Structure 1
């Protein structure tokens, strides 16, 4: 699918990978709805960055774990852009819990991470589907993680939630075919604000990776846009980790 002149919605679009993909989509000619839940200033800055280069963008507040807010968000995007052709399900949260501390992985952690990381992506795909089917073509990319492939990450609930994202991707690819493609990008370590104050640890990790570098948000954004453009790819989990899982 040609991204130019399409309308895109990016969840968690104010920072990190979300900001990078919002900017890349705009660079390729898409109008972009930048979703945020708490990062209002960052989302508004992303919009300004797009507008300064002649692009079209709006910021929309919505907690993706709440179905009614997701519906309202899509209604706002449609009022502004007419439809939504492209969806990047990027919004995710985590809690830092040692994997072997099973008692710390309490109901609150499980419920919160699943509500945002899994149900949130489902709610957004569900809201986008009728719009995409009406136009006859659409594309969705869910941002997963190598944690969902390896089972290791910032916490056990996070890793399991990302495995669920990969499963959701495959199920949606079946459910929404043939009009809508659905795939997932599974990044490894990415140089986002999560690494602030941990730069030495990031450099140490990069030395042990086959490509001897940490992926940038722009790396992941470029890949996401490339996948959105593919009309012969669906249901795929594409790893982007500089060789971390080799």
Structure 2
């Protein structure tokens, strides 16, 4: 699929991987809706960066864990654009909880991570699906994590939520075939603000990677764009982890 002139919604598009993929999509000629929940300044800065390079973008607020906000956002975009061609389900949160401390895992942690990381992605996919089905063409990329494959990560509920994202990807691929392709890109450790204050841990991790250094947000963004473009791909979980899961 050619990305030129496509209309794309990127959730959590103002920071980290979301910003990188928003910029990469705009470089390829797509019009980008940069979604944010609270990070309005970062989202507006992402839009400014895109426009400074001659691209087309605007920021749009919605908490993806609240379905009515998702529906209102998608309806507004569809009216402005005429339709929505692509969705990058990137918005996610984590809690840093030692993996061996089961008693530190609260109901609140479970509820927040599943509401945003899993149900939020489902709400967004369900909201855009009618527009894609109407034009008999569309693609969705969910951002998972190798934590959902290895079972280890920033916390137990985070790893489990990302495993659920991988399952959601496969189920949506079946539900929305043949007109909408649904895939997942599962990063390993990526140099984003989630690692702020944990630089020593990141350096230790880099030493054990096959490629010797952690990925950058742009690395993940390039893969997401490639997956959106590849029309013979659906229901796949694609890792980009510098050999971390080997």
Q: TM-score category by the smaller chain?
A: over 0.9
1:73 — aligned with what?
73
CA distance in structure 1 between the partners assigned to 2:201 and 2:154 by the alignment: 14
Q: What is the SS of the residue equivalent to 2:194?
A: helix
- How is 1:122-141 mapped onto 2 (pairs within 5 angstroms)? 122-141=122-141
TM-score, length basis structure 2: 0.98
Q: Which ranges of 4 or more aligned residues in structure 1 deviate by more than 6 Å?
A: none
CA distance in structure 1 between the partners assigned to 2:4 and 2:47 by the alignment: 18
Distance verdict in 2 for CA 1:199–1:100, change over 3 Å: closer
Structure 2, gaps ≥5 residues long: none
Q: Which deviates further from its counterpart, 189-198 or 110-119?
A: 189-198
RMSD across aligned positions (CA): 0.9
> What is the number of equivalent residue pairs in this alignment?
246
2:207 — aligned with what?
207
C-alpha distance after superposition, 1:99-157 (max 9, x if no partner): 22222212111111100000000000000101111111000000000000011111111
Contact kept in structure 2, 1:117 and 1:161, CA below 8 Å: yes
Distance apart, 1:204 and its partner CA:
2.2
CA distance in structure 2 between the partners assigned to 1:156 and 1:201 by the alignment: 18
- How is 1:108-187 mapped onto 2 (pairs within 5 angstroms)? 108-187=108-187
CA distance in structure 1 between the partners assigned to 2:6 and 2:148 by the alignment: 30
Distance apart, 1:56 and its partner CA:
1.1
Distance apart, 1:236 and its partner CA:
0.2
CA distance in structure 2 between the partners assigned to 1:156 and 1:35 by the alignment: 27
2:24 — aligned with what?
24
Q: What is the SS of the residue equivalent to 2:159?
A: helix
TM-score, length basis structure 1: 0.98
Distance apart, 1:49 and its partner CA:
0.8
CA distance in structure 2 between the partners assigned to 1:130 and 1:80 by the alignment: 16
Q: What is the SS of the residue equivalent to 1:183?
A: strand
Contact kept in structure 2, 1:31 and 1:81, CA below 8 Å: no
Q: What is the SS of the residue equivalent to 2:87?
A: strand
Q: What is the SS of the residue equivalent to 2:183?
A: strand
Structure 1, gaps ≥5 residues long: none
Contact kept in structure 2, 1:121 and 1:142, CA below 8 Å: yes
CA distance in structure 2 between the partners assigned to 1:104 and 1:194 by the alignment: 20
CA distance in structure 1 between the partners assigned to 2:165 and 2:88 by the alignment: 13
2:102 — aligned with what?
102
Contact kept in structure 2, 1:11 and 1:34, CA below 8 Å: yes
CA distance in structure 1 between the partners assigned to 2:152 and 2:213 by the alignment: 20
CA distance in structure 1 between the partners assigned to 2:54 and 2:79 by the alignment: 20
Q: What is the SS of the residue equivalent to 2:9?
A: strand
CA distance in structure 1 between the partners assigned to 2:26 and 2:153 by the alignment: 32
Q: What is the SS of the residue equivalent to 2:88?
A: strand
2:63 — aligned with what?
63
